[in-house]
Amino acid sequence: MAFYQPARYQKPVAGALLLALLALPPALAALGHEFYIGFATRLLIFALAASSLNLVLGFGGMFSLGHAAFFGAGAYAAAICMRAGISEALLALPLAMLVAGALALLVGAISLRTRGVYFIMITLAFAQMAYYLFISARAWGGDDGLPLPGRMTLAGLSLGSDSALFYAALGCLALAVVFLGRLAGARFGRTIQAIRENETRMEALGYPVFRYRLVCFALGGALAGLAGALLANLTGLASPNLLQWTQSGTLLVMVIIGGVGYLYGGVVGAVVLLSLEEVLSGFTQHWPIGLGLLLLAIVLFAPRGVAALFGKAGG
């Protein structure tokens, strides 16, 4: 594979989409469908979480099955911050990222010494350990989770209304995507993509491979933490379920559906999966069957994901 390169029309399309999304809350309100603002916010947050995994998996080539641990850690960090009286997002969100990033640094420092299936297993093991830790932590609500006393404020403005939180999530996602897009073409991005292709060769060119992998893993963890903190605000709860391995699996499925190693892979995958869930679950509780068929179709007919149908990650 070559280095990631955005499709030519990608920027204008993304810009147009961003404008459309800015107009979404008032439009939904005018139509009397306010309920969907919350759903759209959920999409944005999962798009961010899946994008953070795509950094680790798609660009860094690290098949982590424990990404939910950082997602959940961010949610708990936000909840704990708010219960401690820190409800300013400009403070609480970076703190949540810091906590999740530090956890990822720790997990990565140990896991990244292994390869292949061992790496998958050890990241899974760490995430499950974190899950059971939070479930048994009485002070943090045990398996009921930790409720938030309200929503954060952003630069003093309340995020209490659903549209305010929507805009906050949209801002976070947009910033993250711009950052990841720049990263992909910068020295660091090229380095981790080359490591994904051939780590021995990179080592033989003098690159301290472990260090680059670790930083990539921790960055992905921090971004997942941001998504978790936003989700806790949306649902009003930091739930241990966020750390469960099925959650890691969901994020993985999103990235695979969307397109591993494509800038918008995580976004596309989150939108496709959650929309499908929303629509299909209205018809039948057996909606995962539909999801299974979709996954099968993607693996067979578009193995690089939906985003690959529009852009190219290269050769």
Partner 1 sequence: MAEVLLEVRRLSRRFAAVDALQAVDLIVETGELHALIGPNGAGKTTFIQHVSGALQPDSGSVFFAGRDLTRLSMHQRVAAGMARSYQISNLFLGLSALDNVALAVQGRQDAGSSFRFWQPVRSEQRLFDEARGFLEQVGLTARSDRVAGNLAHGEQRALELAMALATRPKLLLLDEPMAGSGPEESERMVELIARLARQVTILLVEHDMDAVFRLADRISVLLNGRLIATGTAEAVRADPEVRRAYLGDHL
Can you name the residues that pair with 153 across neighbouring β-strands? 88, 158
- Please state the closest distance from residue 180 (CB atom) to partner 1, in A: 9
Nearer to partner 1 (CB atom), residue 39 or residue 207: 207
Q: Measure the CA–CA gap between 124 and 244, rounded to whole angstroms.
A: 9
HSE of 166, CA atoms in CB hemisphere, 13 A: 21
SS3 state at 122: helix
Can you name the residues that pair with 157 across neighbouring β-strands? 154
Nearer to partner 1 (CB atom), residue 152 or residue 176: 176
Nearer to partner 1 (CB atom), residue 150 or residue 314: 314
- Please state the closest distance from residue 56 (CB atom) to partner 1, in A: 15
Nearer to partner 1 (CB atom), residue 212 or residue 217: 212
Q: Measure the CA–CA gap between 225 and 228, rounded to whole angstroms.
A: 5
- Please state the closest distance from residue 257 (CB atom) to partner 1, in A: 23
Nearer to partner 1 (CB atom), residue 32 or residue 315: 315
- Please state the closest distance from residue 219 (CB atom) to partner 1, in A: 9
- Please state the closest distance from residue 235 (CB atom) to partner 1, in A: 31
Q: Is the dihedral of CA 203, 204, 205, 206 positive or negative?
A: positive
Cβ atoms within 10 Å, residue 7:
16
- Please state the closest distance from residue 105 (CB atom) to partner 1, in A: 14
- Please state the closest distance from residue 109 (CB atom) to partner 1, in A: 16
Nearer to partner 1 (CB atom), residue 198 or residue 275: 198
- At a CB cut-off of 8 Å and minimum separation 6, what does 266 contact? 47, 48, 49, 50, 51, 52, 53, 54, 254, 255, 258
What residues make contact with partner 1 under the rule CB under 8 A?
Answer: 1-3, 179, 182-183, 185-191, 194, 197-198, 200-209, 212, 215, 314-315
Nearer to partner 1 (CB atom), residue 25 or residue 221: 221
- At a CB cut-off of 8 Å and minimum separation 6, what does 285 contact? none
Q: Measure the CA–CA gap between 123 and 274, rounded to whole angstroms.
A: 25
Containing 38, the helix (H) or strand (E) segment is: helix 35-54
Which residue, chain included where needed, has tokens 């629509």? 279
